[in-house]
């Protein structure tokens, strides 16, 4: 297992994105929330169901369906593209919160004052010192907690099959997105990064 650095509020680390593409091309697949999926669908101007298979897959872990970005077999994300030899993301403004957070890795919603850093990211140790994106981490914890609480409710209390529960949840969240709550705004999410 990779040994991560552990940071807490007040800690700083040198980091700047080097645009290496390592985070998008070495797997494993990034787990998503219904909120991520709805933001991606909205950005691409498609119904979220059009993302299934091509960009998003579901992994059944016992009774829970976990949506994830589809890998291309060689570890590369389905949204990774190269422009003039530079790795870029087809959905950069709407990229999932886990992608926005990287190289910072959430520890646990029950411990919001701890975050890990992946030391193998080429940008770690480079550039000026920054604080981890605590506000963005808290937004992620809010979304992931709501996502899995509702999945649990649908499967274990309402009797939905895992994939049906996931689809119902995504439908509910995408309907909520039609009212333009704050979490749908890419600018809002960018502001949460402390920069």
What's the whole-number mean pLDDT along residues 158-169?
Answer: 98
Global pTM reads 0.94
Average pLDDT of the residues of the chain: 93
pLDDT for the residue 195: 53
pLDDT for the residue 3: 82
Closest residue by Cα to residue 178 from 41, 52, 68, 49: 41
Stronger pLDDT, 195 or 69, i.e. the higher one: 69
Residues 6+ apart with CB under 8 A from 104: 7, 115, 116, 117, 132, 133, 137
- Per-residue CA distances from 89 to 20, 102, 112 (Å): 12, 14, 28
Question: What total number of domains does the chain contain?
Answer: 1
Residues 6+ apart with CB under 8 A from 60: 66, 162, 163
**What pLDDT digit, counting tens, does each position of 26-83 carry?**
876 799 999 999 999 999 999 999 999 999 999 999 999 999 999 887 888 999 999 9
Question: Does residue 1 carry a pLDDT above 50?
Answer: no
Sign of the dihedral through C-alpha 138, 62, 68, 104: positive
**What pLDDT digit, counting tens, does each position of 172-187 carry?**
999 999 999 999 999 9
Contact 124, 12 (CB under 8 A): no
pLDDT for the residue 194: 64
Helix (H) / strand (E) containing 114? strand 111-117
Residue numbers of the domain that contains 149: 5-191
């Amino acid at each position: 297992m990779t040994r991560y650095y552990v940071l807490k509020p007040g800690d700083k680390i040198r980091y700047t994105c080097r645009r290496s593409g390592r985070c998008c091309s070495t797997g494993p697949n990034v787990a998503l929330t219904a909120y991520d999926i709805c933001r991606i669908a909205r950005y691409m101007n498609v119904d979220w169901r059009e993302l299934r298979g091509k960009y998003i897959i579901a992994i059944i872990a016992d009774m829970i369906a976990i949506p994830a970005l589809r890998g291309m077999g060689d570890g590369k994300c389905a949204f990774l593209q190269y422009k003039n030899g530079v790795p870029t993301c087809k959905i950069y403004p709407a990229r999932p919160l886990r992608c926005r957070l990287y190289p910072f890795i959430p520890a646990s919603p029950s411990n919001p004052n701890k975050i890990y850093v992946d030391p193998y990211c080429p940008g770690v140790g480079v550039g000026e010192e920054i604080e981890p994106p605590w506000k963005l981490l808290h937004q992620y914890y809010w979304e992931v907690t709501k996502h899995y609480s509702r999945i649990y409710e649908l499967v274990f209390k309402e009797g939905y099959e895992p994939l049906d529960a996931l689809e119902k949840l995504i439908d509910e969240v995408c309907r909520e997105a039609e009212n333009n709550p704050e979490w749908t705004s890419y600018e809002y999410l960018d502001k949460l990064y402390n920069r």
